[in-house]
Amino acid sequence: MNTNDLFRLDGRVALVTGGAGIYGTHITRALAEVGANVIVASRNLEQCEAVAAQMSSEGLKVFARHLDLGSGESIRDLCDGIVADFGKLDILFNNAVARAGGDPSTVTEEDWVRAMEINSTGFFLACKIFGEQMVKQRSGVIVNISSIYGVVGPNFNIYEGTDITSPANYAFAKGGMVNFTRYAASYYGRFGIRVNCISPGGFQTDQPDVFIKNYSKQTPLGRMATDDDIKGAAVFLASDASAYITGHNLMVDGGWTAI
């Protein structure tokens, strides 16, 4: 196959959960730019529709759907709807995340349970239900979006001078996601399904200047992640360019975990 063709996703159907969020918007755009039909789904259908409308106006094939990861029925309904509308599901990006509470000094039992409903149970059910469709097809790609904090502990020094902290339940869920990726790769490989993970570093948005400065000093590349940094990794793991890669956790972190 021509090298350029390895990265193309023409005719493939992809779902990005939380696809209208910080990472999700860029993942959605990246997949659509290389030819995929991309469904962007979350609880906030209005936000998904806005993303889909904008990208569709640019000639990209992006569609909005509702998805509540706190409900197995909602996940099943979306899977059935995608198959009814598109005939298949080739690619799943588990990108949605719920943030509740903060570090151990402030997080409550309710915060923990609420976050786990999405980040643990919902994540598992998405892998299970959409994975069942891929088993029927004997093909598919699952990419889970974890975090550097699923691999290493947080450096609390970077939060000094801000009201930002690192949620305890986030680290727990993202660490579990990394190893479940390996489990799922082992289980689903026999069905022609690849399962990989991307662990991004911090994404620069509207954080305080002191946080951006503190964070950037900790990375060999000297900066936080920006818009395009996740796009290449997403296309690589979704496409045939990574056809012999499964069970891998790709660090997209500017070198944060290298030192």
Active site residues: 170
Q: Using CA atoms, how far apart are residues 242 and 250, in angstroms rounded to an integer?
A: 12
User: Counting Cβ atoms within 10 Å, is residue 45 exposed (0-12), middle (13-18) or buried (19+)?
Assistant: middle
Q: Using CA atoms, how far apart are residues 58 and 149, in angstroms rounded to an integer?
A: 35
Residues paired with residue 42 on neighbouring β-strands, in sequence order: 66
